[in-house]
Amino acid sequence: MEENKKMCMALFSGSLDKLTGAGVVISGAAADDMDVEVFILLQAARSFKKEIGDNYEKLPMSENLDLKEDFIASLKQLNVSTWVEFFEMAKELTNVKIHVCSLAGKMWGGEKIDDFIDLVDDICGIGEYIDAAAEADIHLFI
């Protein structure tokens, strides 16, 4: 039996547009039955905190802040899933693990798993990310 391909993603950005893009990529990989490990780094850790989560109003855009309202309106008009929903769908399809870097979590006041939305599987050190990236067939940094 052939082993599933593995994708490793370092999610550095906590912006609405990049989180949405990451969700699309992760759900595509999951639909292709890939094993996926996502490592939440620095600014992205803030977006995974319970008080932020899927609240569009609290998330910045990566560029051109004036496009935020248009971006959100387009997502709604096209009935596109939210970034959180994309991540949830991916986790339902295949082996998707979401890890928060312990330093990143601490930077935003998240020191325990309960500080983050339910998508998060654990809090880990950067060494786990480096090991997963070295073993992955595909490695992305967003």
Domains and CATH numbers, the chain: 10-52+67-141 (3.40.1260.10)
Q: What was the pLDDT predicted at 2?
A: 67
Q: Do 37 and 81 meet the contact criterion of CB atoms below 8 Å apart?
A: no
| % of the chain at pLDDT higher than 70 | 99
* Half-sphere CA count of 9, side-chain side, radius 13 A: 26
Q: What is the pLDDT of residues 117-134, one digit of tens each?
A: 999 999 999 999 999 999
pLDDT above 60 for 1:
no
Q: Assign 1 to helix, strand or coil.
A: coil
pLDDT above 80 for 54:
no
Long-range contacts formed by 118-122: CB under 8 A, 24+ apart:
119/48, 119/84, 119/87, 119/88, 119/91, 120/40, 120/48, 121/97, 122/97
pTM given for the model: 0.94
- Rounded to 5 degrees, φ, ψ at 18 are -75, -35
Q: How far is CA 99 from the centre of its chain?
A: 9
Q: What was the pLDDT predicted at 64?
A: 82
